[in-house]
Structure 1
Amino acid sequence: MLLWLAAILVLPLVRLLFKDQARKHLPPGPRGWPILGNLSQVAGESQIWHLFDKWKYEYGALTYLNLFGKDFIVINTREAALELLERRSAMYSDRPRFYVLEYIGGEMAMPFAKYTKAWQNMRRATHEVLHNQAAQSYHPVQTEEAIILAHKLLFDSSLTLREKINGSAAIVLSVVYGKRSLSIGSEELPKPTVDNSDSPDSDLLLTSDPLQSLSNIGHRFTSSGYPGSYLVDVFPILDYFPAFMAKWKSDAIRDRIRVGSFFQRYYDDAAQNDKHRSSLCAKLTDTKLASGLTIEEKAWVAGITSVAGLETTSTTLSFFLYAMCLNPEIQHRAHKELDYVIGRSHSPMFADMKNLPYIRAIVKEVLRWNPALPVIVPRKASEDDWYKGHFIPKGAAMMLNLWSMNYDTDVYGPDVKEFRPERFLQQCEKTGEYILKPEFENEDGHSSYGFGRRKCIGRYIADNALFIDMSTILWALNIEAVASDKPVVQKKVLDTINPIPDFQCKLTPRFRGVDSVLQQLRDEVAQAREE
């Protein structure tokens, strides 16, 4: 009996001493201040991935930060990410607590939710309609949307370049809600009048434009998960303040209701009116795998999927156009491949993909060169762990520094800052033609879609959309930089989304008659949709 009592008293002390010794082996990191730790170095730092990249070269694969007593570890290399998030995924699939994200609806938003049974149900149901084989069913509508985008880029002078690119993300509406982006018929999404009068200084603006509203919702979530955005994440005691005394809390609670109502309205409309039952919403109403989800959870699955797809698609296409402006020789080589494989009488199709290795390499290089999300909302270590002699304490927030992984000179060579699709290609010994390297036939070649159980679930649809959009634009248009006295700059924002440079480009027909071909193709799409 005495031995049992002694063990009960001594074992916690032994564990405490062991933990204290283990903490001496935390990963290296920048020196911080007493009490605050590294908080002052991180809070308010825009485009934080550049700071993390700088620290990577000083401290290695893992960088340790102390944010007012909280353990925060940045994963800087693909090797470390694969080991921790793939091979040990059971220990690194949860999320740390972000209070504002939680109040906005983080428990319902799959990319931000904690690793619970409800999350697993949402993930499983979404995978059912977005996996690689299912993604092929969306090829026809993606091809149509690519034609509409190229037509709009060439002919529509009423919109800015940014507005046109945002419109390209309407493919997401087709996939998720079964609605077509072409504004000619009755299949547009409902456009509710949204009242923002009760919150003129709100962080979240919802409008009658569904694409703009979804984009604003996305930024509300991603900025709320940005390190140091809210003091409550550093000082949890602030959460005890009632909403009427804490504006951040009252705003978040209000926005949770508004976002939920927005998602529900669009889900209900799609579930009732998708005649072909081809959308994510329609399939969520039918599939057995979604039977464990409530109606509200299904609406949030659809809404957050559309938000994620919209931001990644529009941001990546913007960087694609920027890359083409900076690298006319790459654009010229892509034109040659398209002329050789496709010709000029019809636009690219998915059947051409296997014969367009250079275009596929451009897609991969854009995603590597400027990922839409250079850093991702942190995971949480669910138990104590070790990696190459470094201690990872239970509860530590683990942030993926995708930027540094994509700019790793050990993986991509010393020219990582250059836009060079050739890094994914090799010369065929028999024909002398360039082909995609075998390791990239079924692999991304970049880290932009994340790792483990939380890897981007819509990556197959995203890759397909980017391929057909980029190939159609390159087939139809010349992309030229517009000279300006003002330097191209990126906005300084506290957000995990990569800000798009403020650039302008000139888009003109690439060959004689392409404008007529494009108009005819667009008219055929319009007629088919009207019928």
Structure 2
Amino acid sequence: MSTSSDYRIPALAAMSAIAYGLLSWWSHKKRNPGGLPLPPGPKPLPVVGNVLGLKIDEPWITYTHWGATYGELVYSRLLNQEIILINTEKVARDLLERRSNNYSDRPGILCLTNDFVGWSFNSVMIKYNDRWRLHRRLFHQAFRPEAAFTYQSMQLRKARELLSNLLEDPVNWRAHVQTHSVSIIMSVVYGYEPGLRDDPIITIVERAVDLAVSSIKPEVAAFLGAFPFLQHVPSWFPGASFKRTAVLSTKYAKEMIEAPFQYVQENLASGSASPSMVADSLRKAEDQNASETYVKAIKESAVTAFAAASETTSSTMFIFILTMLQNPEVQARAQAEIDSVVGSVRLPNFEDRASLPYVEAVLREVLRWHPAVPLSIPHAATNDDVYNGYFIPQGATIITNTWAITHNEAKYPSPDEFKPERFFGADGKLNDDTVNVAFGAGRRICVGRYIADASIWSAMVSILAIFDIKKCKDEQGNDINVNPKFTAGITSYPLPFPCLFVPRQKEFDTEKLDAMF
């Protein structure tokens, strides 16, 4: 390859961007004949827009600063993609709920919609159409509030397994938390009981999800959306690491889709399948002689539920463990409340939940302090719209800045501090703020939020009942302070940090733990 050919991709990209910019300007002028202003925002640079002003590792921080400067609705542009940022809960409700007909679509993210990374099956990102409605019906059958109640005994059992793993092998606590999160949703979706450690199907799924979450970022999607021809460059081309990642992601995604689904099919054939989302849906499909499209929707919605729930639940648990490590006084108060309700001879269960308001407040504060999905999942405007005198163009990506909403100083004073007390009123009772915004808003709100809430609560309260989460010591016996760093991507959670899980009772062993079940 000649030296000059190395410049073909950037040269073509630049020409494409300039042409698109001119076309977008003319198109915007035609769509907005009244000349209404776009929402205020940082002035975009030619071609690249506001990319250079974005903190790539923590874009929600940049967006929050923009919100403080320009207001609750902010306009920005990443290359050729128009972005409308929602920075307050009121605007999120006004647009995503009260105008849900116009804001329930998803942006056409190239790397997700054309199977570039193997994730075109993802129910979360598919367009607002009949295919999505079919997926949603399948979700609702398995995850509606009434159904979620039936999983509580299983969730408690999984929490007990987590305690056993932490007691026997505390060093690998992160792996145990991930196994706990994955095993719950595997049971709900596939009726699959994974091994306590190193389960082959769990390994397949975690590998696929980890790669996808780390590689599917808004700035990457915007770049590929602006220059779609880049998806066709060979993987060996200099600077084409994204293509190599895409090839690997596609391979892992196929394995993730097929392995657990085949497990259910084999068990149905042998008559040994446990009740689950997939087994129940396949039985119904067979009774109704359903089409291949319907069966495919079962497969796609199932793996979406599995991938999304396992990632967000484990992320929230990592955040919980970090907050307990950094706030021992909060941990001690929650433990004292648990002890006063259940004592030390049994473990908490869901019947105790109403009697543990401070633990409830801790859960809410975990969701608020660092939302696992700090920018929610982007929506898209189906048609042009006007809000408070500002023009919102058709096709614009609508991003709810959950981080800004949960760090609103007017509602949450000293938002960077971890303070569960903020959820109690003057009468000493819990207020109505459940931080539901952490699960999204509108018609695309997380359908699995009831199961996720119960999974997180049961794990949290069980850990607090049995363990103290403490700092590790250095060679001189001093506490090792943790300055956490968080992952970037769709979900955000703390990178590995040192901590100890120390049984609260002296000479506590598996025999004593089993006696508390």
The equivalent of 1:154 in structure 2 is: 167
Q: 1:110 pairs with 114, 117, 123, which one?
A: 123
1:419 matched to 2:418? The reply is: yes
Paired letter, 1:108: F
The equivalent of 1:11 in structure 2 is: none
Q: 1:165 pairs with 162, 177, 185, which one?
A: 177
Q: Match of 2:501, SS?
A: strand
Alignment of 1:9-408 (within 5 A): 19-20=31-32, 22=34, 24-42=36-54, 45-102=56-113, 103=115, 104-157=117-170, 159-169=171-181, 170-183=183-196, 191=200, 210-230=201-221, 231-238=223-230, 248=242, 252=246, 255-256=249-250, 258-273=252-267, 275=272, 277-287=274-284, 291=290, 293-408=293-408
For residues 60-108 of structure 1, give each alpha carbon's deviation from its aligned partner in whole angstroms, at most 9, with x where no partner exists.
1111112234311111111111111111111111111111122234432
Q: Give the percent of matched residue pairs that are identical in Structure 1 and Structure 2.
A: 31
1:499 matched to 2:493? The reply is: yes
Q: Match of 2:438, SS?
A: coil
Alignment TM-score, normalising by the size of structure 2: 0.84
Maintained 8 Å contact 2:74/2:86: yes
Alignment TM-score, normalising by the size of structure 1: 0.82
Maintained 8 Å contact 2:484/2:497: no
Paired letter, 2:228: P
119-128 or 163-172, which deviates more: 163-172
Maintained 8 Å contact 2:107/2:397: yes
Distance in 2 between residues matched to 1:489 and 1:59, nearest whole Å? 31
Distance in 1 between residues matched to 2:345 and 2:289, nearest whole Å? 44
Gaps of 5+ in 1: 1-13, 192-209, 429-433, 525-531
The equivalent of 1:453 in structure 2 is: 443
Q: Cα RMSD (Å) of the superposition?
A: 2.9
Q: Match of 2:121, SS?
A: coil
Maintained 8 Å contact 1:95/1:115: yes
Paired letter, 1:85: L
Maintained 8 Å contact 1:27/1:390: yes
Distance in 1 between residues matched to 2:251 and 2:498, nearest whole Å? 38
Tell me by how many angstroms 1:161 deviates.
Answer: 2.5
Maintained 8 Å contact 1:77/1:405: yes
Distance 1:350 1:518, change over 3 A: farther
Paired letter, 1:58: T
Distance in 2 between residues matched to 1:83 and 1:368, nearest whole Å? 21
Q: Match of 1:92, SS?
A: coil
488-497 or 127-136, which deviates more: 488-497
Distance in 1 between residues matched to 2:120 and 2:339, nearest whole Å? 49
Distance 1:253 1:339, change over 3 A: same
Distance 1:160 1:495, change over 3 A: same
The equivalent of 1:431 in structure 2 is: none
Tell me by how many angstroms 1:18 deviates.
Answer: 6.5
Gaps of 5+ in 2: 1-25
The equivalent of 1:468 in structure 2 is: 458
Distance 1:35 1:481, change over 3 A: same
Paired letter, 1:455: I
